[in-house]
Amino acid sequence: MAWSFSICGRAQPPTTARTCGQWLVVLIFGASLILPVAAVAAPSPNAGAPLALSDAAPFGQQTASSNARELAAWVLKSGDNQALPFVIIDKIDAKVFVFDRLGTLQGAAAALLGLGRGDDSVPGIGQRKLATISPGDRTTPAGRFKASLGHDFEQDILWVDYDLALSLHRVVAGSPKDRRHARLASASPHDNRISYGCINVPADFYDRVVIPAFTGTVGIVYILPDSKPLRAVFAIPEQPADSGGAH
């Protein structure tokens, strides 16, 4: 069985590190554990046909940005989620939305994200020691990822991209000066950039929404850009121009 250990935002042994403070140990004994698939830029050509759904994801009473709504509508109309549960992470609004395979909203919550602004991960970031990762390198990359539940050194987490050591998990205490719980509880998204790249969410939200959504299945995580245009990251067709006049 292969185990990977991540200590996002916690103190770590001085020997090794990965993004979010991850240090990787692989122990192989007995049956193997299949690790989640890395990020992919587009769905498989063999993806199933789109489900017969509304073009707009039901956000209910939740406030969602125009980018989040446009992405959700495209996901459901195109079937990009491949009939799998999916998550939309809005970095600008610091918010996470979890949907089931049919596009029904299961829950939403505030999130803590990487301290650095930017939509790409620094090459080799997953192999570097924490002390070498500058604030600007602590980014949460944008993109489409195939995710699944797994475990780190202390708890269960949702692996978003294993090679990048990118995960979504319960908020951690971290350093007292980080004030992670207070940042998560604040009304403003402007103080939610503090992690090494991982996505921190309230523990109750993780237990009540994330775990049930991904139990027994993989799913898709869409992380919206905070620097690039939406269509530079996702293959969303341009909206047709309004030609005006009578029809």
Predicted local distance difference test score (pLDDT) of residue 215 = 98
Question: Residue 12 above 70 pLDDT?
Answer: no
User: Is residue 219 in a domain?
Assistant: yes
Angstrom distance (rounded) from CA 202 to CA 109:
7
Q: How far is CA 107 from CA 39, 134, 204, 210, 212, in A?
A: 23, 33, 11, 9, 11
The highest-confidence range among 127-136, 160-169, 206-215, by mean pLDDT, is 206-215
User: Is residue 117 in a domain?
Assistant: yes
User: Is residue 81 in a domain?
Assistant: yes
Predicted local distance difference test score (pLDDT) of residue 49 = 45
- Which three-class secondary structure state does DSSP give residue 27? coil
Per-residue pLDDT tens over the stretch 168-211: 999 987 778 889 899 999 989 999 999 889 999 999 999 999 99
| Domain hosting residue 221, numbered range | 19-232
Per-residue pLDDT tens over the stretch 53-72: 444 558 988 999 999 999 99
User: Is residue 242 in a domain?
Assistant: no
Question: Residue 148 above 70 pLDDT?
Answer: yes
Q: Which of 197, 35, 38, 199 is nearest to 130 (CA)?
A: 197
In a 13 Å sphere around the CA of 34, the CA atoms on its Cβ side amount to 7
The residues pairing with 222 across neighbouring beta strands, listed in sequence order, are 88, 144
User: Is residue 239 in a domain?
Assistant: no
Predicted local distance difference test score (pLDDT) of residue 55 = 45
pLDDT band with cut points at 50, 70 and 90 for residue 129: low
Give percent above pLDDT 90 in the chain: 52
pTM of the model as a whole: 0.77
Predicted local distance difference test score (pLDDT) of residue 196 = 84
User: Is residue 133 in a domain?
Assistant: yes
pLDDT band with cut points at 50, 70 and 90 for residue 158: very high
Per-residue pLDDT tens over the stretch 209-245: 999 999 999 999 999 999 999 999 999 998 776 545 4
User: Is residue 155 in a domain?
Assistant: yes
Query: Domain of 100: which CATH number?
Result: 2.40.440.10
Q: How many domains does the chain have?
A: 1
User: Is residue 154 in a domain?
Assistant: yes
